Amino acid sequence: MSNQWNSEPGTPLNGSAVPGADDRPRLGPRPLHRPEVDPHTAAVFGRPSGVDGAFSPQAGGHPTLGELKTAPPAPESLASAFGRPEGSQELLQRPPADEHGVNGVDPWDPDAAHDPWRDPSAGAVIGPPAVGPDRDGDGAKPAGKPAAKLLSLPEVLFGRRVKPTALIMLAVLALVIGAGGGIAAYFLVNRGDELYSDTTLAEVQPAKERPAGSVADIARRVRPAVVTIEVRTEQGTGIGSGAVIDSAGYIVTNEHVVSLGGAVTQGQKITVVFNDRRRVAAKLVGTDPKMDLAVVKVDADVSTVIQLGKSADLAVGDTVLAIGSPLDQADTVTAGIVSALNRPVVLGGEDGQPAAYDAIQTDAAINHGNSGGALVDSTGALIGINSSIISTSEEGGSIGLGYAIPIDDARPVVDSLIKTGRVNHADLGVNASSVSAETAEGARVQNVRGGGAAEKAGIKQNDVIRKVGDRVIANAAELIVTVRHYKIGDTVPVVLARDGRELTVQVTLQSD
């Protein structure tokens, strides 16, 4: 663009004359330069089609200012609370002020010198609350102003939004509910007897499982076959236990139970008390003091008979149950194991006293009153007759050392007592005592009975018997029980120690 000087000095650029203008040169306007517009740029930044001005036209043409609607009408509640008083022509509501204005100056007075609407540099004016010109100087309400209208209960509860018919229906519903509750209470109080009836609750299976072979199952099956035996004499009374071994009413027990430990031999009154508390008189069938066994019989219906087992099949550690009436506690079951087998027990001493047997040792609790009761295995079969214990107390309580007569040894004795009322045992014909020395250990022969089996075999006094058959003899008690395992008339080898040398003799056992 080039600069041009006006050819007529003193003339303005717009062509009007300026009086008194000097003849100085004037700079003329630059020519308008409009570069070509890129079509792509025009498509992005240009006005829409049909728009010539800077603003988009309104729908239906360009309305006048009076036709613009800036906002929807205010709700009636807001207009009533915050609108201008009826008949007011002011565009802005005037703030309240006292008769002298704020600080002596009315900010709404057009003649005020410090009008903030006319003086932009004036500070903001904070006046009293806009409560109108009816308030006096101290803010108290004029005495003549009428009180506000009081609200009714429906207006307070429901805010004037509930119809009277709805209130009536609500009241009726409340009455119906109350009446129904009263009627129900009446029937519950006056007809309460109907709550009780003869209804029987449904039976259910036991919650605890007791499989076959468990201790509970064994006890359930065996307990009815174990009885309490009461013995009364003029000398006193005693209580023991017994086991029903035959449906004819035969019951096996200990000899010391029916004889009160040897105090009586006849004339005793024996009563058997069954598991179901039946009491039946019993008769003594026979006794064997050397094996501490006895058999009594009852003439009554016997519902359960104990099964006889085989004590030879036992092993140390097998589970066993002792059932009886310890300390007059009838129908008692204790459990344990086989602690030992072939334990020689002699009651009353080692020198040929009445009772001796090759016992089963168990840790199942056995106390006074268990005598004659049943020792059963894990199948519930009778494998022993509880007979004695070892105790460290004067009362003779259990310390876990209990002994039972093996059923294999008791069976022939019981059979003989039931058939004949008496029993005989194999006998060696010697009296012996226990001996233990470096040179000899066994049973020392104290004397030899004349005409007995030992004398006929050549056994002499002071011989030490160390072995009978296949069993090593450690003491006198073991000698007695070993010989009783054989039958009368059996010939057995006996190993002796005599004068420092060992010899074997053949002995044919005789009857005792």
33, 1 contact by CB (below 8 A): yes
| Rounded Cα gap, residues 291 and 354, in angstroms | 8
Q: Is 256 a catalytic residue?
A: yes
Q: Please tell me which residue in 241, 259, 288, 292 is annotated as part of the active site.
A: 292
Query: What does the chain come to in residues?
Result: 512
- φ/ψ bin of 160: left (φ > 0), alpha (ψ from -120 to 50), beta (otherwise): left
| Rounded Cα gap, residues 242 and 229, in angstroms | 7
Return the ∠ at Cα 423 (arms to 417 and 429), rounded to 5°: 165
Q: Is 292 a catalytic residue?
A: yes
348, 356 contact by CB (below 8 A): no
| Rounded Cα gap, residues 227 and 297, in angstroms | 12
Q: Please tell me which residue in 241, 259, 371, 388 is annotated as part of the active site.
A: 371
CA dihedral (126, 128, 130, 132) positive or negative:
negative
Burial of 342 (0-12, 13-18, 19+ CB in 10 A): middle
Structure tokens at 473: 């003899």
Structure tokens at 258: 């029916």
Which residues 6+ apart lie within 8 Å of 220 measured at CB? 210
The CA dihedral of 406, 408, 412, 413, to the nearest 10 degrees, is: 0
Residue 272 sits at φ, ψ, to 5 deg, of -105, 130
255, 293 contact by CB (below 8 A): yes
Exposure class string for 163-184: b at 16+ Cβ within 10 A, else e: eeeeeeeeeeeeeeeeeeeeee
Q: Is 427 a catalytic residue?
A: no
Q: Please tell me which residue in 256, 339, 377, 387 is annotated as part of the active site.
A: 256
As annotated, the active-site residues are 256, 292, 371
